[in-house]
């Protein structure tokens, strides 16, 4: 086990002879001071790991905080079969990756929209191009509708559909429960559905109406 | 990217993923998402880098306090 049978002084000068694992087991009894010693020992490394993934100090510190809080919350179900530090580092890497994906989620979804729009410009007179055109219009409408959703609903939907993250990972990334994520997804889908149906009625979207797309969009059909 | 290639890239490029070619960084992230062995390797190299380059990083007391407040 790490740090066993020796006194370890950490980042902030906290000294404790117990191993990481013994300290974390003490946390099960609600010993926050024991956890503070663990933070003392491991914060710089956890922050560095997150920084290596994220490349941004502020985000790395947020990810480090999330990692320690996740560890604290998992203390009762932790099984000391691996070193505490190994387990904590894995949490930190996962938190940082989740944050990086959250950061990328919106730009990537916009990139999908742009690609579809570009395809539309390349040749809308052919049947497949017409399909692209329809898709691009739906995608643009979808993007607009997404943009009008509350931040949490938009983030949950984007991570679920564009990043294809599982609900559990989304919950970790957003700092809420899986039930909350499912609720956000459900409400977000309902709102989107209502808005897209309303938009369809106004614009007459559908395969038969693709040719009457808005003017000035550079389309050949 | 498999673990062997990841290890080779880690040795060659270091653990700061922003210094990797973007496509390889993305592939590495995919591997890190699914492989605990890759995560452990990543942590080992990060720890070695911190030892070699004497990570400065500034005062982490405010961050530690923030963590303690949010438990």
- pLDDT tens per residue across span A34-47: 999 999 999 999 99
pLDDT at B67: 93
Q: Where in chain A is the domain with CATH 1.10.10.10?
A: 122-212
Q: Does B54 touch chain A (CB under 8 A)?
A: no
User: Within chain A, which residues score under 50 in pLDDT?
Assistant: 1-6, 113, 116, 120, 123-126, 205-221
Share of chain B above pLDDT 70, in %: 90
Q: What is the ipTM of this complex?
A: 0.93
d(CA A76, CA A73): 8
What angle is formed at CA B45 by the lines to CA B41 and CA B49, rounded to 5 degrees?
170
* Shortest CA gap B57–chain A (Å): 8
Residue A15 main-chain phi, psi, to 5 deg: -120, 130
pLDDT in tens, A83-124: 999 999 999 999 999 888 877 665 555 555 455 455 545 544
A32·B36 Cβ contact <8 A: no
Return the CATH fold of A8-98: Rna Polymerase Sigma Factor; Chain: A (1.10.1740)
What angle is formed at CA A77 by the lines to CA A74 and CA A81, rounded to 5 degrees?
105
Residue B18: closest CA among chain A residues belongs to which residue?
A55
Question: A86: which chain B residues are within 8 Å (Cβ-Cβ)?
Answer: 40, 43
Question: Which residue is listed with tokens 């890190």?
Answer: B32
Return the CATH fold of A122-212: Arc Repressor Mutant, subunit A (1.10.10)
């Amino acid at each position: 086990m790490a740090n066993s049978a020796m006194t370890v002084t950490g980042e902030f000068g906290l000294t404790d002879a117990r191993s990481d694992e013994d300290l974390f087991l003490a946390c099960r009894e609600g010993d926050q001071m024991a956890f503070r010693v663990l933070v003392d020992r491991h914060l710089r490394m956890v922050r560095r790991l997150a920084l290596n993934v994220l490349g941004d100090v502020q985000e790395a510190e947020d990810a480090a905080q999330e990692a320690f809080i996740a560890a604290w919350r998992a203390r009762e179900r932790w099984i000391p079969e691996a070193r505490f530090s190994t387990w904590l580092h894995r949490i930190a890497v996962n938190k940082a990756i989740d944050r990086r994906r959250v950061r990328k989620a919106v730009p990537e979804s916009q990139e999908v929209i742009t690609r579809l729009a570009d395809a539309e410009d390349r040749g809308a007179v052919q049947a497949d191009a017409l399909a692209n055109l329809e898709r691009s219009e739906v995608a643009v409408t979808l993007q607009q509708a997404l943009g009008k959703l509350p931040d949490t609903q938009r983030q949950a939907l984007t991570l679920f559909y564009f990043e294809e993250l599982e609900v559990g990972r989304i919950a970790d990334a957003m700092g809420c429960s899986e039930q909350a994520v499912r609720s956000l997804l459900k409400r977000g889908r309902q709102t989107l559905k209502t808005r897209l149906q309303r938009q369809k009625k106004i614009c007459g979207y559908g395969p038969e109406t693709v040719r009457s797309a808005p003017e000035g969009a550079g389309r050949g059909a | 990217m498999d673990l062997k290639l990841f290890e080779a890239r880690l040795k060659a490029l270091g653990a700061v993923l922003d210094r990797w070619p973007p496509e390889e960084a993305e592939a590495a992230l995919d591997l890190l998402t699914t492989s605990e062995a890759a995560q452990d390797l990543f942590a080992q190299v990060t720890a070695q880098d911190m030892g070699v380059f004497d990570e400065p990083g500034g005062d982490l007391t405010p961050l530690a306090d923030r963590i303690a407040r949010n438990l």
